[in-house]
């Protein structure tokens, strides 16, 4: 369990003021290495999820994770994944994170999968920090997937499709209380999370052979 969650919850209670528009919002963009659709992912393909985080609030602290997925369907590829060093900075002068100011410095340096006994599911944390001062940015100047961004994603997580044909799983992305995640802003502590659902199918050649086999059986059944 993250040791600072109780601290973050206290900060949230002290900081919150009524607001309906300042929430932290996660959006995702997902691609596969071979171009297969998420409803029919090829076995062995890589699934890349770009994670974009935005807030119009001044963030004080954040814990977020990718979680609740089936580890028999997808396998976390830590080597291919990347994590932002800071979030919600007000300005970056170069692509070097050291040139970014007034943000939250990430306590997580790499994706690492673990089983959360409280939630009863797998998770991989991608951000964990309580700030001593508020972050002054909204997320569009953070150093992310491809350097200093102008509206781009800050995180990228990659999974390998390892499941059997027909298997499916939903990958949740965001700040989830069940997984001891939390978000604290100066206006509210609301998190609008995201999710990605994938389904594994047989490789095209296998599916074709199966189809031909079924046609052959049907034809045999019609013979006198």
Instruction: Kindly report the CATH number assigned to the domain that includes residue 21.
Output: 2.60.40.680
- The predicted-structure confidence for 101-121, as pLDDT tens digits, reads as follows 889 999 998 899 999 999 999
- How far apart are the C-alpha atoms of 155 and 25, rounded to whole Å? 14
- The predicted-structure confidence for 16-34, as pLDDT tens digits, reads as follows 434 445 689 999 999 999 9
For residue 74, what are the β-bridge partners?
A: 161
The strand ranges marked E within 80-167 are 86-87, 91-92, 100-101, 104-105, 113-116, 121-130, 143-144, 147-148, 155-161
Most confident of 52-61, 86-95, 170-179: 170-179
Most confident of 1-5, 110-114, 143-147: 110-114
**What pLDDT score does 14 carry?**
39
The mean pLDDT of the chain is: 83
Going by pLDDT thresholds of 50, 70 and 90, the confidence category of residue 219 is low
Q: What share of the chain has pLDDT > 90, as a percent?
A: 57
Going by pLDDT thresholds of 50, 70 and 90, the confidence category of residue 147 is low
- The predicted-structure confidence for 168-187, as pLDDT tens digits, reads as follows 999 999 999 999 999 999 88
- Say how many domains are in the chain: 1
Q: Residue 46's domain spans which residues?
A: 5-221
- How far apart are the C-alpha atoms of 111 and 124, rounded to whole Å? 6
Window from 28-32, 150-154, 158-162, 209-213 with minimum mean pLDDT: 209-213
């Amino acid at each position: 369990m993250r040791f600072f969650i109780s601290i973050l919850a206290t900060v949230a209670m002290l900081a919150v003021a009524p607001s309906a528009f300042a929430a932290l919002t996660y959006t995702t963009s997902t691609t596969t290495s071979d171009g297969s659709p998420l409803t029919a992912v090829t076995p062995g393909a890589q699934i890349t999820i770009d994670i974009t985080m935005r807030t119009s609030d001044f963030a004080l602290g954040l814990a977020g994770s990718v979680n609740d997925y089936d580890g028999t369907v997808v396998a976390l590829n830590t080597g291919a994944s990347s994590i932002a060093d800071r979030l919600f900075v007000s300005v970056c002068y170069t692509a070097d994170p050291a040139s970014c100011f007034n943000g939250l410095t990430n306590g997580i340096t790499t994706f690492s999968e673990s089983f959360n006994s409280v939630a009863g599911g797998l998770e991989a944390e991608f951000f964990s920090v309580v700030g001593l001062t508020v972050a002054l940015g909204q997320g569009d100047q953070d150093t992310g997937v491809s350097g200093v961004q102008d509206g781009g994603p800050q995180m990228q997580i990659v999974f390998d499709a390892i499941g059997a044909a027909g298997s499916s799983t939903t990958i949740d992305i965001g700040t989830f209380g069940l997984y001891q995640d939390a978000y604290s802003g100066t206006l509210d502590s609301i998190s609008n999370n995201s999710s990605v659902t994938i389904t594994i199918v047989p490789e095209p050649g296998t599916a074709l052979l199966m189809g031909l086999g079924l046609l052959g059986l049907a034809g045999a059944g019609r013979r006198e």
